[in-house]
Amino acid sequence: MADSTNQVDQTTVDRLPTDDDHPATDGYAVRVLDKALLGGEPHRVGRFEYRYDSGAWTWSDTVALMHGYKPGEIEPTTELVLSHKHPDDLARVKGLLQQSVAPFSSRHRIRTTTGEIRDVVVVGDPVTDADGRIVATRGFYIDITKSVHADLQQSISDQVQLIVSHREVIDQAKGMLMLTYRLDADAAFAVLKWRSQQLNIKLSTVAEKLVAELPDLVNTHPAMRAPIDHYLLALTPPQK
């Protein structure tokens, strides 16, 4: 975790300009490096919160844009959010709205206001009140739509040299996120960059912490690794 001098004052973040004259990524001013790495204004990772106690939703400008709305155009509700889910994914997503003490992740499709189908990964974590009761889930959306991937294939500017010295650990962290959430490399990097901005710490520090600490959070029981062991030896999936 970052020390107190590195923490972001959320009130300050919420007041940062996000209009066309002052573009931002979920309230964070766009840096030259962001544009260089993402081929334009960053728009792939956004925040949300759903309150179990009141049924209220909040979402960032980025999530609104993913659904086809202008920032501030509409207040999200459960009915609105579910109306944008692809019919084939709707039942599964509804199940995720049940109050739970466990984090969740979901890969599904949403339909924008113009009818465009977009692929997203949604990751949520439980929020507790002062008494330790689960009152909400909070997390982020990642847009992994193929068309977004194509849009992001831009030339990388000289600013990327700022992270070259940390390339190895960043690539390791990206690989872990790719495996965990079934992302591609661009989407995994977008997650690292977003967490770096939100926590106001260097991207390489986020990567180093993830590489050092994530393996201990994953169940490494031998029985869980057996299919992987088989695959590495035979390069064919085990028989079901």
* List of domains in the chain: 4-217 (3.30.450.20)
With beta carbons less than 8 A apart as the criterion, state whether 185 and 174 touch.
yes
Residue 114 has pLDDT above 90, yes or no: yes
* Banded pLDDT at 148 (limits 50, 70, 90): low
Average pLDDT over residues 127-152: 81
Residue 144 has pLDDT above 90, yes or no: no
Residue 110 has pLDDT above 50, yes or no: yes
Residue 65 has pLDDT above 90, yes or no: yes
Residue 191 has pLDDT above 80, yes or no: yes
Of residues 165 and 238, more confidence is placed in: 238
- The maximal CA–CA distance of the chain, rounded, in angstroms, is 57
Which residue type does 51 have?
A: R
Q: Say which range, 68-82, 101-115, 163-177, has the weakest mean pLDDT.
A: 163-177
Mean pLDDT of the chain: 76
Buried b (16+ CB within 10 A) or exposed e, 49-81: bbebeeeebebbbbbbbbbbbebeeeebeeeeb
Residue 170 has pLDDT above 60, yes or no: yes
Residue 4 has pLDDT above 50, yes or no: no
* Banded pLDDT at 222 (limits 50, 70, 90): low
pTM of the full predicted structure? 0.57
The fraction of the chain above a pLDDT of 90, given in percent, is 32
* Banded pLDDT at 40 (limits 50, 70, 90): very low
Average pLDDT over residues 44-63: 92
**Helix, strand or coil, per DSSP, at residue 48:** strand
Average pLDDT over residues 138-148: 81
With beta carbons less than 8 A apart as the criterion, state whether 84 and 117 touch.
no
pLDDT (0 to 100) of residue 160 = 47
Identify which of 19-23, 45-49, 93-97, 104-108 has the greatest average pLDDT. 45-49
Q: Say which range, 149-163, 187-201, 226-240, has the weakest mean pLDDT.
A: 149-163
pLDDT (0 to 100) of residue 13 = 33
pLDDT (0 to 100) of residue 41 = 42
Burial class (CB in 10 A: 0-12, 13-18, 19+), 22: exposed
